[in-house]
Amino acid sequence: MKRILLIATGVVVAAVLALFLSGSLVWWMLGLGDHLVIDGKAVAVAPADPAASTGWRSYGGDPGGSRYSAATEITPDNVKSLEIAWQFQTGAFKGREDVIGRTAFENTPILVDDKLVLCTPFNEVIAVNPGTGAEIWRFDPKIDKTQRPANQFICRGVSQWRDATAVAGAACATRIFTGTNDSRLIALDAATGKPCGNFGTGGEVAIHPSISLRWPGEIQITSAPAIVGDTVVVGSAISDNLRVAAPSGVVHAFDARTGAGRWTFDPVPRDPADPASATWTRGSTPTEGHANVWSTISVDEKRGWVILPTSSPSPDFFGGLRPGDNRYANSVVALDGATGRMIWHFQTVHHDIWDYDLPSQPGLYTITIDGKPREVVAQAAKTGLMFVLDRDTGLPVLPVEERPVPQGAAPGEVLSPTQPFPPKPGNIVPDRAKPEDAFGITGIDKAICADLIAKTRSEGLFTPPSEQGTLMVPFTGGGANWGSTAYDARRNLVVVNMNNLGHLIRLVPNDKDEETMELSEDAEYAPMEGAPFGMTREILVSPLGLPCTPPPWGVIAGVDISTGTIMWRRVLGTTRDLAPGGIEIETGAPNLGGPSITAGGLVFITAAFDSYFRALDVETGKELWRTRLPASSVATPMSYMWEGRQYVVVAAGGYSNLDSRMGDHVVAFALPKAK
């Protein structure tokens, strides 16, 4: 995965200088620099969303993940005056300096009464003053730093719950729930940060895996728990591609007061009476695992439902032992929050062998169609596609077509002949690369990339993995990832950021010794034990270390969700902090984290690995403001009003797997105080 930062190589200075001197190519790339308006029509502005608030009570702003603040103080006219209001350093790496290379600071704080509550990659939960950043309390669950997490040490967020039966001011009347990297669910008193002793054992519940783990940390909880009524729901992140018979991705629900288990849901149907089990096997109970929910679960408070984004089955790149569509993997799944009963499901990838999880929180939005409100679920995907579903039924609101996809898989594989495609909005980033599309600074560089692409299978989205080598576009990080979408109900506008890179995937017969394989320095190898193949993957790059797929390598777009029209699309990210010497060209950059929107008419986003914090005009995507952060930020910003002042807050701490600038900063911005 380190090859994602491909332009951060010693040869990039020469490459960028060549690019800068190449005239037409520079103008081609920078022509996307501000924004590209498609079907340039005026955006109809609806009344403000009455459900929006000037607080930020959930990881996604609200339980449905709109990432929208009704605060209006900061506007396109004054955003250039933003300044740092306060900074807070978590101190997370004190005594843990040796594991800084296994962390990602992806946290978005929440506003709980008179406190801003956040978590560190090691699951320390910290409350600070919303106006000053001064620490109020801290809780350390004492994560074992020697464990090997499934991904990295990560905590994206915490959740709050208010006990309607509790006496005002009583201990744990308001609780903070957090999941941990060692699969515990912990309840804390929001006032003091002390564990709620009547929850589980000493304030925590341990979640046990379905089978023995290969190492501590093979399963972890990385996303904020979902709260529906008085039930707490958590998913899990599981290490990919190790084995066929892997831990199952069971979703667990607990009583918010006592910690008693309420229900579980396994996205792999084990009961032969479940009609979906026939989509997994040739007549026996499925033994595969995963299909876990590692991203953020959405909550429909009115219906009392949880909406799950499920992931791919084990292993990711060979499914011959699980013939069929493999429902409920790679699906949006609605469950009754009180019982776990399934209400509906919609699958976005049949029989996934591409690691195309549903990585983002399902957006529970109320859109306007023909002047009437319609409650929907908007799901952004790694494939670069977006699905818009009816909230009650799970049926598409914007049409979805089953289209034929490339066939001719590896021996023993059983592909789906078709896959679901929404014509609108269609591909937000490209889904293929041909030899003539190859990117190169020089004619030689470009020719080598063209030859590399020509040697792979590269037939567009859903080209199956192969021994020959298959070029997957978008790469396995997406398209969209866990940063999710933001929604402006006044404009029917969904904003989403995506990557535009390609992965070279190669299947390797499992009778071949890994030590004898010819792997490049940065290729990843995974055994996929129990399958006839292992796999390797790496970013397809030129000898200069640049992607062979053409830029921009990171984009952000605004989509009218009522019609599926892409209203604007622009480059996201520069070579700053990636190229030696700080040379800055707007090529777009790999990005993680997501956008937020404010009623003042702004989109705030970090995400790109160039350590910039940006504000865009929500109607056009034009960049209005940017500033440097003390470290790379792969977190989603949040905003709130506090004592008459609007704050925009973002975590800046980096993503170690991608060699970005690391730190432990939480930075708050605001307009200057009136004198």
Residue 432 has pLDDT above 90, yes or no: yes
Helix, strand, or coil (residue 75): coil
Residue 173 has a pLDDT of 97
Higher pLDDT, residue 47 or 26: 47
H/E stretch holding 360 reads none
E strand intervals along 113-154: 115-119, 125-128, 135-139
Nearest residue to 466 (alpha-carbon basis) of 353, 614, 351: 353
Residue 276 has pLDDT above 50, yes or no: yes
From CA 621, how far away is CA 76, in angstroms rounded? 11
Residue 63 has pLDDT above 50, yes or no: yes
H/E stretch holding 449 reads helix 443-454
- How much is the mean pLDDT over the chain? 90
CA distance from start to end of the chain: 50
- The 10 Å Cβ neighbour count of residue 216 is 15
Q: How confident is the model at residue 189 (pLDDT cuts 50, 70, 90)?
A: very high
- Report how many domains make up the chain: 1
Between vectors from CA 590 to CA 460 and to CA 220, what angle results, nearest 5°? 95
Is residue 675, in this structure, part of any structural domain at all? Answer: no
* 185 and 254 Cβ atoms separated by less than 8 Å: yes
H/E stretch holding 262 reads strand 261-265
Residue 1 has pLDDT above 60, yes or no: no
From CA 226, how far away is CA 249, in angstroms rounded? 16
Nearest residue to 639 (alpha-carbon basis) of 615, 668, 662: 668
CATH number, position 160: 2.140.10.10
pLDDT one-digit tens code per residue, 233-242: 999 999 999 9
Is residue 181, in this structure, part of any structural domain at all? Answer: yes
Q: Which residues of 302-331 are buried (b: 16+ CB within 10 A; e: fewer)?
A: ebebbbbbbbbbbbbbbbbbbbbbbbbbbb
Residue 128 has a pLDDT of 98
Is residue 543, in this structure, part of any structural domain at all? Answer: yes
Q: State phi, psi for 532 to the nearest 5 degrees.
A: -70, -10
From CA 239, how far away is CA 219, in angstroms rounded? 7
Nearest residue to 664 (alpha-carbon basis) of 106, 129, 149, 222: 106
Residue 9 has a pLDDT of 40
Residue 282 has pLDDT above 80, yes or no: no
Is residue 518, in this structure, part of any structural domain at all? Answer: yes
Is residue 373, in this structure, part of any structural domain at all? Answer: yes
Q: What pTM does this model have? A: 0.93
- DSSP 8-state assignment for residue 608: B
Tell me the DSSP string of 393-438. Answer: T--BSS--EEEE-----STT----SEEEE-TTT--SS-----GGG-
pLDDT one-digit tens code per residue, 317-360: 999 999 999 999 999 999 999 999 999 999 999 999 999 999 99
Q: State phi, psi for 627 to the nearest 5 degrees.
A: -150, 160
Token reading at 66: 């709109």
Is residue 370, in this structure, part of any structural domain at all? Answer: yes
From CA 650, how far away is CA 75, in angstroms rounded? 18
Token reading at 251: 């979703």
Between vectors from CA 189 to CA 187 and to CA 195, what angle results, nearest 5°? 50
Q: HSE of 446 in the Cβ direction (CA atoms, 13 Å)?
A: 13
Dihedral of the alpha carbons of 136, 142, 147, 148, in degrees to the nearest 10: -20
Reply yes or no on whether 357 is catalytic. Answer: no
User: Positive or negative CA dihedral for 433, 434, 439, 445?
Assistant: positive
From CA 392, how far away is CA 298, in angstroms rounded? 14
Residue 46 has a pLDDT of 54
What is the pLDDT averaged over residues 259-273?
96
* 317 and 413 Cβ atoms separated by less than 8 Å: no
Residue 51 has a pLDDT of 64
E strand intervals along 99-230: 110-112, 115-119, 125-128, 135-139, 159-162, 174-179, 184-189, 204-206, 219-220, 226-228
Q: How confident is the model at residue 7 (pLDDT cuts 50, 70, 90)?
A: very low
User: Positive or negative CA dihedral for 269, 272, 274, 279?
Assistant: positive
pLDDT one-digit tens code per residue, 64-121: 999 999 999 999 999 999 999 999 999 999 989 888 889 999 999 999 999 999 999 9
Is residue 471, in this structure, part of any structural domain at all? Answer: yes
Range of the domain at 229: 2-670
Any residues with CB less than 8 A from the CB of 658 and at least 6 apart, and which?
Answer: 1, 2, 4, 5, 590, 609
From CA 168, how far away is CA 402, in angstroms rounded? 54
User: 182, 316, 325, 355: which one is catalytic?
Assistant: 355
Is residue 248, in this structure, part of any structural domain at all? Answer: yes
* 416 and 325 Cβ atoms separated by less than 8 Å: yes
Question: Beta partners for 539?
Answer: 503
Residue 329 has a pLDDT of 98
Residue 474 has pLDDT above 80, yes or no: yes
| Placement of tokens 């018979």 in the chain | 245
Q: How confident is the model at residue 229 (pLDDT cuts 50, 70, 90)?
A: very high
Residue 315 has pLDDT above 50, yes or no: yes
pLDDT one-digit tens code per residue, 501-551: 999 999 999 987 655 566 666 688 999 999 999 999 999 988 888 889 999
Residue 658 has pLDDT above 80, yes or no: no
Higher pLDDT, residue 258 or 98: 258
From CA 276, how far away is CA 319, in angstroms rounded? 16
